[in-house]
Amino acid sequence: MTTTPQIATARRQMLNKVPEVTVFFWIIKILCTTVGESFADYINETLGFGLTNTTLVFSAALLVVMVFQFRLDRYVPGVYWTAVVLISVVGTLLTDNLTDAQGVPLAVSSTVFAVLLAAVFGIWYARERTLSIHSIVTTPRESFYWLTVLVTFALGTAVGDWTLELTGWGPGQSVLLPLGLIVAVLAAWKIGMGPVLSFWLAYILTRPLGANIGDLLSADKSEGGLALGTLWTSVLFLGTILVTVVYLSVTRADVTEKKAHADVAEA
Predicted local distance difference test score (pLDDT) of residue 10: 42
- The runs of H, that is alpha helices, within the chain are 4-10, 23-41, 51-71, 77-96, 106-128, 139-167, 171-190, 195-218, 229-251
Predicted local distance difference test score (pLDDT) of residue 266: 44
Query: In whole angstroms, what is the distance from residue 221 CA to residue 223 CA?
Result: 5
What are the tens digits of pLDDT across the range 104-129?
999 999 999 999 999 999 999 999 99
3-state secondary structure 14-66: CCCCCCCCCHHHHHHHHHHHHHHHHHHHHHHHHCCCCHHHHHHHHHHHHHHHH
Predicted local distance difference test score (pLDDT) of residue 12: 52
User: Nearest-CA neighbor of 58 among 32, 91, 105?
Assistant: 91
- Positions of the chain with pLDDT lower than 50, given as ranges: 1-11, 258-267
Sign of the CA dihedral running 110, 112, 116, 119: positive
Domain residue extents for the chain: 16-251
User: Nearest-CA neighbor of 18 among 121, 181, 144, 128?
Assistant: 144
Q: CA dihedral in degrees (49, 53, 56, 60; nearest 10)?
A: -50
Predicted local distance difference test score (pLDDT) of residue 267: 39
Predicted local distance difference test score (pLDDT) of residue 55: 92
pTM assigned to the model: 0.86
Predicted local distance difference test score (pLDDT) of residue 117: 96
Predicted local distance difference test score (pLDDT) of residue 36: 79
